[in-house]
Amino acid sequence: MLHILAGVGQLYQLVFGGQDVSPLVELEDYPETQITDLIIYPCSRIKGVHVEETKVLKHGLEFDRDWLLLKKDISKQENKTSGGRLITLRNSESLGITACRFETKGDNTFVVFSHPDQPKDLWVNVQKPQTDEVVTFYDYDLNEIEALSEGAEAHKWFSEIVGIDVLFVKSTQKFKPTTHQQEFNYILKEDDLRKGGHGKAAVHLINRKSVEHLNSKIKDSDSHATPYQFRPNLIIEGVEADDEDDMREMVLVSDGTTFRQTQHCVRCREPTYNTDKGKFSEDGEPMKTLSTYKIHPEIGTVFGVLLQADSECTLRVG
């Protein structure tokens, strides 16, 4: 169960031109609100792992987006390798059908990657990177980030999937999230963190009802979206469509941990990628329809919200 602190109508007043922005109002009890799915994405742009529970750290879910793929750059200086740009699904549609799972052997936990075109799975120790080689790259906010190389075998495994030489690295640095606070008056704190190469905040929430509402506007049922195309960490049910836009704080009933909304999720093209089909949609859905009714003139199309936890906790389905 979640308790919600809502600023009624704030998103719609701000996005669609209203002048009277409501302040935060009463703590409301939504007894039917449930977390129906939890997903960890060990590596960006790769399928997630569905879990029944997960630890939430100050910088996000444990093991979520810890690993990244970079376009290989052979330049070296001061014993550091320059990793170039982040690899996305635009570089390789085949990358998006890569699956992963967690396995334990003795005292070690591994994230295991598999792909239909690879005869062998790739096992990566989550506790210790394969090498101590430092790789530097720039994220989307132009932060220079250091990561650790996971070694030649991992680089080769992913390069064969992507079709160009790539580096598979583990990000070790944390950064303050960047937000559009001036537009939405988000509740931010000095110690908010995100991972290097991560998105704009620590935890990503999608409301299943909002996806159903979106699909009701898409004429061709073959183009309907699933929640997973938006790559959420948690999916909730029990609130009306788009109500999540005005949820300023969510309190986890089990232990009282507060999650603050720190960003509406600004969307790029990648939700048009369908992991079941392994390709981008030809008709531009669901972004084509989404951009007709959830677009901000300054920051673009928004869908879903990003959260920061005030303390470490455990999230569970239910």
The pTM score is 0.85
Percentage with pLDDT > 70 across the chain: 75
For position 200, what pLDDT does the model report? 58
pLDDT digits (tens, 9 = 90+) for 99-142: 999 999 999 999 999 999 999 999 999 988 889 888 887 766 66
For position 209, what pLDDT does the model report? 95
For position 244, what pLDDT does the model report? 86
Whether 226 has a pLDDT exceeding 90, the answer reads: yes
Closest to 168 (Cα-Cα) out of 98, 111, 83: 83
Cβ–Cβ < 8 Å for 317, 53: yes
- Supply φ then ψ for residue 94, to 5 degrees: -65, -25
Better-scored residue on pLDDT, 59 or 288: 288
- Among 246-255, 264-273, 285-294, the range of highest mean pLDDT: 285-294
Q: DSSP secondary structure string, 259-303?
A: EEEEEEEE--SGGGEETTTTEE-TT-TTHHHHTTTSEETTTEEEE
Cβ–Cβ < 8 Å for 128, 107: no
Q: How far apart, in Å, are the Cα atoms of 27 and each of 2, 7, 12, 97, 244?
A: 10, 10, 20, 41, 14
For position 142, what pLDDT does the model report? 67
- The neighbour count for residue 259, using CB atoms within 10 Å, is 23
For position 8, what pLDDT does the model report? 37
Alpha helix (H) ranges present in the chain?
A: 10-15, 152-162, 181-184, 208-217, 287-290
Percent helix, strand, coil in the chain, to 5, is: 15, 40, 45
Q: How far apart, in Å, are the Cα atoms of 315 and each of 36, 63, 96, 111, 234?
A: 11, 14, 26, 20, 9
- Report the C-alpha gap between 98 and 46 in whole angstroms: 6
Task: Work out the widest C-alpha separation in the chain, in whole angstroms.
Answer: 60
- Report the C-alpha gap between 284 and 50 in whole angstroms: 27
Does residue 116 have a cis peptide bond before it, meaning omega lies within 30 degrees of 0? Answer: no
Cβ–Cβ < 8 Å for 121, 172: no
Mean local confidence (pLDDT), 139-168:
88
